[in-house]
Amino acid sequence: MSILDKFAPLQAAYSSLKEQGFDPFGISFDSITSATEGVFQGRSILLMGTNNYLGLTFDPACIDRAVDALTRYGTGTTGSRIANGTYVQHSALEAALADFYGRDHAMVFSTGYQANLGILSTLVGKDDHLIIDADSHASIYDGVRLGNAQVLRFRHNDPNDLYKRLKRLEGVPGDRLIVVEGIYSMLGDKAPLAEIAAIKREMGAYLLVDEAHSLGVLGEGGRGLAEEVGVDADVDFIVGTFSKSLGTVGGFCVSNIPDFDVLRVACRPYMFTASLPPSSIASSLEALNQLRQRPALRQRLRDNSEHLHAGLRALGFQVGPTVSPIVSIALPDQATAIAFWNKLLAAGIYLNLSLPPATPNNLCLLRSSISAAHTPAQIDRAIDIIETVGLELGVISPSERPVLV
């Protein structure tokens, strides 16, 4: 008997997964050599499943700023934001984020996960309602669990369902907070934000958008889906992360709501954890500058996304209708997905294997995410290898190529 006995079914499923090849949840790279390449078990590997959308992890200026901060301010703050863990750099990054979004307030958290935990559990209380998209990220679900608000889920990307649920709450006291994501992390689809913003206005709710995957990706200025759709003014809270397009680690929330800063002394995942090291803050700040000053990165990312999406679609893979930097291939069953993923890794490409229950509609997915740093030749190589494996496993067939118009 062991305290871990309750995990026996999970242990069995995981063991069976590992018996089929590499351990999809235990990959450990020997080294990472650029934004798009690494070494795995002594072999060079093409990285097609990171969230390094702008490819800034090896940007010389970002590295310089981090090294300089490391040398001048040390390896870590050893304290929380509300004790000894706020340096001028943390405040400067908050000011830069507020300026970027044109908002009055910004709070930096130690991760995006913690930003969602903190904001969702603190903003709404037991007399309030959280209305979240059913396909929300784990950090949103966990934020819900940490707080006391009443929770309603609406069908993924279904504004009518959202409307109906809010309508049923008419007359019920308390605040309502709608939570959606700019780009959903598994399939790369976007929230129907114009419709959701209209509903929010009509029903007098607050709206929070998690732009984790859309910061630096969508919108003329790279601010995300709210900017792209032109509904910035309707979004009361934007949550985001530094761990994707900014290539570092950390999370944030920006808002125009008066007295936002009271959250600094109310929000436990902000208060009771160490703040980010100055080196991460310094490189995040530089990456934000680059995001603002180099719109060409965004264009390259769009071109690369189009390239991968069109290439896979033309071969007959099921990639979903939306072109975004997240391109997921749906496979018929778990065994095929696992075999496919293993063969790709053996051939030198790393993608994410995403399996139920972590996926929407219990899909078995090979999730790739593209970077502005990928070259067209790397994308062609990835498409070629994915084609070879797809043919080998009978996922696609040359006689069933779709006719694309």
User: Which has the closest alpha carbon to 214: 298, 136, 138?
Assistant: 298
User: Which has the closest alpha carbon to 361: 169, 171, 189?
Assistant: 189
3-state secondary structure at position 375: coil
Looking at the Cβ atoms of 176 and 367, the one nearer to ligand PMP is 367
Instruction: State how far the Cα of 157 lies from the Cα of 180, in Å rounded to an integer.
Output: 9
Q: How far is the CB of 375 from ligand PMP (least distance, A)?
A: 25
| Burial profile 150-162: b = 16 or more Cβ within 10 angstroms, e = fewer | bbbbbebbebebb
Q: How far is the CB of 280 from ligand PMP (least distance, A)?
A: 11
Is 374 tagged catalytic? Answer: no
Instruction: State how far the Cα of 164 lies from the Cα of 154, in Å rounded to an integer.
Output: 9
Looking at the Cβ atoms of 57 and 378, the one nearer to ligand PMP is 57
Q: How far is the CB of 86 from ligand PMP (least distance, A)?
A: 19
Instruction: State how far the Cα of 143 lies from the Cα of 190, in Å rounded to an integer.
Output: 21
Is 305 tagged catalytic? Answer: no
Instruction: State how far the Cα of 17 lies from the Cα of 25, in Å rounded to an integer.
Output: 10
Looking at the Cβ atoms of 179 and 395, the one nearer to ligand PMP is 179
Catalytic residue among 200, 244, 307, 374: 244
Looking at the Cβ atoms of 112 and 188, the one nearer to ligand PMP is 112
What does the binding site for ligand PMP look like in residue numbers (CB under 6 A)?
111-113, 116, 137, 139, 181, 185, 210, 212-213, 241, 243, 251
Is 244 tagged catalytic? Answer: yes
Catalytic residue among 121, 136, 139, 185: 185
Looking at the Cβ atoms of 133 and 236, the one nearer to ligand PMP is 133
Q: How far is the CB of 241 from ligand PMP (least distance, A)?
A: 3
Evaluate the omega torsion of the peptide bond into residue 357 and state whether it is cis, within 30 degrees of 0.
Answer: yes
| Residue number of the CB atom closest to ligand PMP | 112
Residues contacting 255, CB < 8 A, separation 6+: 103, 104, 105, 106, 236, 237, 238
Q: How far is the CB of 269 from ligand PMP (least distance, A)?
A: 11
Catalytic residue among 90, 129, 213, 309: 213
Rg (CA), the chain: 22
As annotated, the active-site residues are 185, 213, 244
